Amino acid sequence: MSIYVDKTSRILIQGITGHEGSFHAEQMLKFGTNLVAGVSPGKGGEWVLEGKVPVFDSVKKAVDITGANVSVIFVPARHALDAMFEAVEAEIEVMICITEGIPVRDMILLMTYMEGKKTRLVGPNCPGILTPNESKAGIIPGTIAIPGNIGVVSRSGTLTYEVLYALKKAGFGVSTCVGIGGDPVLGTNFRDVLEAFEADPQTDKVVIIGEIGGNEEERAAETIAKHMTKPVVAFIAGQTAPVGKRMGHAGAIVEGSYGNAMDKINAFQNVGVKVAKYPSEIPDLLLT
């Protein structure tokens, strides 16, 4: 079992004929992802990837014909809000938005619209979801993880890859890796993923990769204290970042003493979470 996507997920890509969409669609197909459709307005009726994947003008039509239930969005930021509205209206179960640079106002409008809807949003500005040997929905390289019992959830992109590879080198397999994204407004947060891993019988331990800015990690620590029975290991990026300066992600900004690395580390340690000084220490902490 995995969380959010697995080998039975029927995945479509919004923006499949664009540069990023077509490149990653090919990588997903090579991985073995059950990629059933693409959506690109005005190009319905075409086939891409050597005739393996049909293209539709709308998400609704793609869902009706192929039964797609997961969408991966590679649409440019100026069109991303409309693309996400369309996926929600088509009752896509899991919507993974890779697009970066989406205005906060657009995300607030979307989150308000999504209240009471069946769709789960992962992202935006995220690397997606990887379930080794089952499904790759997004841009996480499929070769850097092996199947296993470690759940991974991260706000970072490249750090996710580093940690997955470190786990693989140490012989640790992964149940599912979820990149939630680093923007200020997110569809799925640490608490959501932690609770999903807690309920997943195939996940025995969890790695959480946080970073400076916001209060996601502090709220995750509260969830761990109240709801988690499985061991959790953490790493916080940005420990040497200067106060008041945005580092990388839109959400990675420290204002005064709010959102700094030490407070996040203390919050985790106070609820029994072991915190690595460097990503390479994570495998050793999982053994203790």
Helix pair 190-199, 216-227: axis angle to 10 deg: 30
pLDDT at 256: 46
One domain, residues 110 and 155: no
Determine what percent of the chain is predicted with pLDDT higher than 70.
93
Question: Residues 210, 95: one domain?
Answer: no
Last-in-domain residue among 65, 88, 122: 122
How far is Cα 277 from Cα 10, in angstroms, rounded to an integer? Answer: 39
pLDDT in tens, 49-74: 999 999 999 999 999 999 999 999 99
* Last residue of one domain, picked from the residues 122, 153, 174: 122
In terms of domains, do 161 and 112 share one?
Answer: no
pLDDT at 245 over 90: no
> Which tokens go with 151?
């759940």
Whether residues 169 and 217 fall in one domain: yes
For residues 117 and 120, what is the distance between their CA atoms, to the nearest angstrom?
8
Q: How confident is the model at residue 288 (pLDDT cuts 50, 70, 90)?
A: confident
The reported pLDDT for the residue numbered 147 is 98
CATH number at residue 233: 3.40.50.261
Structure tokens at 14: 């919004």
Q: Where does a domain end: 91, 122, 153?
A: 122
- Outline where DSSP puts E strands in the chain: 11-14, 35-39, 47-48, 53-56, 70-73, 94-97, 120-122, 128-131, 135-138, 147-154, 174-179, 205-211, 232-237, 274-276
Structure tokens at 201: 């019988």
**Residue 29 Cα to chain centre, angstroms:** 19
Q: Is 95 within the bounds of a domain?
A: yes
pLDDT for position 255: 47
225 pLDDT above the threshold of 80: yes
- Assign residue 31 the CATH number of its domain: 3.40.50.720
CB atoms within 10 A of CB 158: 11
Residues 36-48, mean pLDDT to the nearest whole number: 98
Q: Kindly state whether residues 56 and 156 are assigned to the same domain.
A: no
| Cβ proximity of 74 and 16 under 8 Å | yes
Residues forming beta bridges with residue 136, ordered by sequence position: 130
Q: What is the reported pLDDT for 247?
A: 52
Residue 248 CB neighbour total at 10 angstroms: 19
Question: 25 by DSSP, 3-state: which?
Answer: helix
* 114 and 76 in a common domain: yes
CB 215 within 8 A of CB 236: no
pLDDT in tens, 71-119: 999 999 999 999 999 999 999 999 999 999 999 999 999 999 999 999 9
Catalytic residue selected from 19, 79, 227, 249: 249
Q: Are residues 157 and 198 in the same domain?
A: yes
Residues 246 and 176 in one domain: yes
Judge if 85 and 204 occupy the same domain.
Answer: no
Average pLDDT, integer, range 245-254: 52
State pLDDT tens for residues 118-136. 999 999 999 999 999 999 9
Residue 129 lies in a domain: no
Residue 1, domain member (yes or no): no
Tell whether 148 and 266 lie within a shared domain.
Answer: yes
Question: 36 and 12 in contact (C-beta within 8 Å)?
Answer: yes
Picking from 194, 183, 176, the residue whose alpha carbon sits closest to that of residue 7 is 176
2 vs 178 pLDDT, higher one = 178
Domain count, the chain: 2
Range of the domain at 75: 11-122
Separation of first and last alpha carbons in the chain: 25
Distance between alpha carbon 256 and the CA centroid of its chain, in Å?
29
Same domain, 249 and 150: yes
Residue 134 lies in a domain: no
Mean pLDDT of the chain: 94
Residue 249 a catalytic site member:
yes
At 236, give phi and psi (nearest 5°).
-115, 120
Q: Is residue 131 part of a domain?
A: no
CA distance 252 to 247: 6
- Domain-located, residue 2: no
| 206 and 274 fall within a common domain | yes
Residue 178 and residue 122 in contact, taking contact as beta carbons nearer than 8 Å: yes
